[in-house]
A and B are shown apart, each in its own frame.
Chain A
Amino acid sequence: MQFALLIYESREGFAMRNSDGTDSYTGAWRAYHRSMVEAGIYVGGDPLQVPETGTTVRIKDGKRHVQDGPYADTKENLGGFAILEVPSLDIALDWAARCPAASIGAVEVRPLATATKHRVVA
């Protein structure tokens, strides 16, 4: 089964990225990513730029409404995602718990909607 880990980071989490990569948060992420790859469960994923860099688009009454900033501006914002191939939700939750962001932000685990995708791409 494939699951998405939706990684929500706090302000401090995002702030920790502005470094040369020798800080412990980046070190933890490097190790975490590597462990997923070595365990053979990592399908893909990416970090996102800070929420302020987001731009949100809606069409209302046929008109474009473009808004500066992320879709939802909350205390914790979507900071990245990873797609995992694991046998069960419990194992996906184990991996979510190991995520360095889980102790300072939150990680949502959601199954990919494979059947829906099949209907869409068929």
Chain B
Amino acid sequence: MSGGALEDTQRAIERVARESYGRLVAYLSAHTRDVAASEDALSEALLAALRAWPRDGLPQNPEAWLLTAARRSFIDLIRHQRVVSESEPTLLLLREDSTEMNLATDFPDERLKLLFVCAHPAIDPAMHTPLMLQTVLGLDAGRIAGAFLVSPKTMGQRLVRAKTKIRHAGIQFEIPDKRELPDRFEAVLEAIYAGFGIGWDDMAGIDQRGRELTEEAIWLARVLLELIPDEPEARGLLALMLYCEARRSARRGADREYIPLSEQDTKQWCFALIDEAEQHLAAAFHFGRPGRFQLEAAIQSAHAERARSGRTDWVAISAFYQQLIRISPTLGRRTGYAAALAEANGPQAALAVLNAIESDAVSSYQPYWAVRAHLLQQLGKTSEASDAYDRAIGLAEDPAVREFLLKRRK
């Protein structure tokens, strides 16, 4: 085989692995309830593909090939472990489908069930996102660890523990019933959004940890929407992330300096992403069931409007924040509301909103101090502003944000 063809095969394997990983893990896990073993089996199958495909050429249905190979290595794996009594039902489960599996051109997509398992209330909420990234998208522990600011070893151990819990706690691979569904669904959306990076809706901060994961989170949201197209909040979440992603390159200047949203050059925004976001948001609102993610996307839509009209409707943004606060008054929302109110009604009213937040809650919350400093400076309270800037600078993780605030402080 020539070098070019070899590369083609290599790329084909990567593509199939990328696109089919979650579907295959979900299918195997749903039948065996053993996520870790399913992943191991699939890794084996991918290794086998790397050996066989360059030699024999691409199979007609690469996904089915991988599934058959994974199933075989799963059975080997179980035999190897010699836990016969425990594994017998698993083997039966796998054998049951053997006829279907031989054809396996379109085996059922179990990824939604897998997403619900990953965000199950019995699993530590901090592990919901890492589990999804690994099982549905196939990211390795090292990459996930980097984004979550823990060591690869620690992340690896936590993932193993979570998967053991799934197996031993008997968490079911099924769509939750009507009574549980709203909460369980919320947890899935939350976990996807957490992957996108908490810092995106902050006023001054960019969360470095989240950045490299934004595309993965958008991918997850697309998978989710493909699985349940009639859920407006899933659409709202995707719209929200697309609006933010559209502004990615405008967030830094020529010297990598930080540029706040209100000063970004709108010509640098990606309008293809904004248009897609608008379509999703409009489709979501059509259901007449507003929710947290649709409201947050609506705020971003108002910001995006500046590219067309040259102005930002801060009154509308304040109103969206008020609705969000009514759902749940988080620190981020109250801070965001204050920042929007400052633009709509002036700094004095906004400062009153910040002053109402209990001081214990904000001692290490950076955006609060950044907004507070900005408001105090506008009010001419120079010395108080300088104190608040110090707090905002000291709590900033991003050197560019730190530099930006140091300049503002002067």
Instruction: Give A104 to B402 CA distance when docked, in angstroms.
Output: 13
Question: Chain B 359-393 against A: per-residue CB contact (8 Å), 1 yes, 0 no?
Answer: 00001100000000000000000000000011111
B364 touches A94 (CB 8 A): yes
Instruction: Give A36 to B395 CA distance when docked, in angstroms.
Output: 8
A28 touches B402 (CB 8 A): yes
DSSP class of A's interface residues: helix, strand, loop or mixed? Answer: helix
A98 touches B397 (CB 8 A): yes
B399 within 8 A of A: yes
Interface residues on B, range: 10 to 19
A65 within 8 A of B: no
Tell me how far the C-beta of B174 lies from the nearest C-beta in chain A, rounded to whole angstroms. 32
B149 within 8 A of A: yes
Q: Which listed residue, B363, B402, B403, touches A40 by the CB 8 Å rule?
A: B363
B406 within 8 A of A: yes
Q: Which residues of A contact B149 (CB under 8 A)?
A: 90, 93-94, 97
Report if A36-B406 is in contact (Cβ < 8 Å); known contacts: A93-B149, A93-B150, A97-B149.
Answer: no
A28 touches B391 (CB 8 A): no
Instruction: Give A34 to B397 CA distance when docked, in angstroms.
Output: 15
B150 touches A35 (CB 8 A): no
Instruction: Give A94 to B403 CA distance when docked, in angstroms.
Output: 19
B391 touches A31 (CB 8 A): yes
A81 within 8 A of B: no
- A38-68, CB < 8 A from B: 38-40
Q: Which residues of A contact B395 (CB under 8 A)?
A: 35, 98
A24 within 8 A of B: yes
Tell me how far the C-beta of B366 lies from the nearest C-beta in chain A, rounded to whole angstroms. 8
Instruction: Give A100 to B149 CA distance when docked, in angstroms.
Output: 16
B37 within 8 A of A: no
Tell me how far the C-beta of A38 lies from the nearest C-beta in chain B, rounded to whole angstroms. 6
Interface residues on A, range: 20 to 34
B390 touches A31 (CB 8 A): yes
Instruction: Give A31 to B409 CA distance when docked, in angstroms.
Output: 11
Q: Which listed residue, B363, B390, B396, touches A30 by the CB 8 Å rule?
A: B390
Question: Chain A 87-115 against B: per-residue CB contact (8 Å), 1 yes, 0 no?
Answer: 00010011001101011100000000000
B329 within 8 A of A: no
Tell me how far the C-beta of A95 lies from the nearest C-beta in chain B, rounded to whole angstroms. 8
- A76-92, CB < 8 A from B: 90
Tell me how far the C-beta of B234 lies from the nearest C-beta in chain A, rounded to whole angstroms. 29
Tell me how far the C-beta of B132 lies from the nearest C-beta in chain A, rounded to whole angstroms. 20
A14 within 8 A of B: no
Instruction: Give A70 to B349 CA distance when docked, in angstroms.
Output: 55
Q: Which residues of A contact B402 (CB under 8 A)?
A: 24, 28, 31, 100
Instruction: Give A53 to B266 CA distance when docked, in angstroms.
Output: 51
Q: Which residues of B contact A24 (CB under 8 A)?
A: 402-403, 406
B394 within 8 A of A: yes
Q: Nearest CB to that of B365 among chain A residues?
A: A39
A17 within 8 A of B: no
Q: Which residues of A contact B409 (CB under 8 A)?
A: 27
Q: Which residues of A contact B363 (CB under 8 A)?
A: 38-40
Taking Cβ atoms with an 8 Å cutoff, the residues of B that contact A are 149-150, 363-364, 389-397, 399, 402-403, 406, 409
Given contacts A28-B393, A39-B364, A90-B149, 5 further A-B contacts (CB under 8 A): A31-B390, A32-B393, A35-B395, A93-B149, A97-B149
Taking Cβ atoms with an 8 Å cutoff, the residues of A that contact B are 24, 27-28, 30-36, 38-40, 90, 93-94, 97-98, 100, 102-104
Could you name 11 residue pairs across A and B whose Cβ atoms are closer than 8 Å? Answer: A30-B390, A31-B389, A34-B390, A34-B391, A38-B391, A40-B363, A94-B364, A98-B395, A98-B397, A100-B399, A103-B399
